[in-house]
Amino acid sequence: MKLKGQTAIITGAASGIGAQTALLFSQEGANVVLVDLNSCSKTLAAIQETRKDAVFLECLGDIRDPEFVSATIARASDKFGELHILVNNAGTCSRLGLDTMTLDMWDRDMETNVKAAFLFIQSVVYPHMIEQKYGRIINISSVSGLNGGVTSGGKKDGRSGPAYSASKGAIIALTKWVAKELGEHGITCNSVAPGATESAITAGVEYDVGGQAIKRIGTPSDIAEAILYFATSESGYTTGQVLKVDGGYSFG
């Protein structure tokens, strides 16, 4: 087991990439802290079905709220002690264009996708990861944060809006800053940038995968496996990197 005895905090764990990551981490021996606004009952059922001795904690609330974030980290620390892994996965995606996007939509994407990640990083690093001189932080970005929002094949209905693209670009910049700042403390910070992936956000969206090397959209399992690498001790010499998991949609 690659994560035996370690504790991982995963946001957006009720479904999609977050749920699959929590399941995979549990199978690899981790204690998992499932964070979401919605119930993680389906994720927990899958975890318990595949690992009878699974150890977990469910924390439900608004990840944009500093008090909720602080309380979540405190509960996790009280239950498990050291906190080893943070996966900032939760996100929202507004697809409206510049001419129709409202300020509320902009704020929602920026606060959920960037502010919440900052809050969790700050709360788990100080003092937990700093004191233990070890940590793995994985931020889920998107190829939209690299190419401005043309996610797969360039179809208009597959494009993300300006707030989503800007927020995912900001996550990449935050990843690099944190990696540079905390590397001397034994803490790595990397980003996984999925292409079009099956999720609640992409439900009902038609993608043209003709331009991809692999002719399908991604699955949560595809992304979770990439996240797992960054969460392990084997990735200790890798930090500040952005791993594109997009079926060969983007090269270079």
Mean pLDDT of the region 146-168 = 72
CB 127 within 8 A of CB 82: no
3-state DSSP assignment of residue 193: strand
From 126, 134, 164, 249, active-site residue: 164
Tell me the β-bridge partners of 88: 139
Has 207 been annotated as catalytic? Answer: no
What pLDDT sits at residue 251?
73
pLDDT value at 153 more than 70: no
Mean pLDDT of the region 114-130 = 98
Write down all domains in the chain, each with its CATH number in brackets.
Answer: 7-245 (3.40.50.720)
Tell me the pLDDT tens digit for each residue of 160-218: 789 999 999 999 999 999 999 999 999 999 999 998 888 776 666 777 777 788 888 88
CB 216 within 8 A of CB 209: yes
Q: How far is 170 from 20, CA to CA, in rounded Å?
A: 24
pLDDT value at 152 more than 50: no
What pLDDT sits at residue 154?
45
Structure pTM? 0.93
Q: In what order do the strands lie in the sheet with 31-36?
A: 56-60, 31-36, 7-11, 85-88, 135-140, 187-194, 242-245
- Please state the separation of Cα 2 from the chain's center in Å: 19
Closest CA to 138 of 195, 174, 191: 191
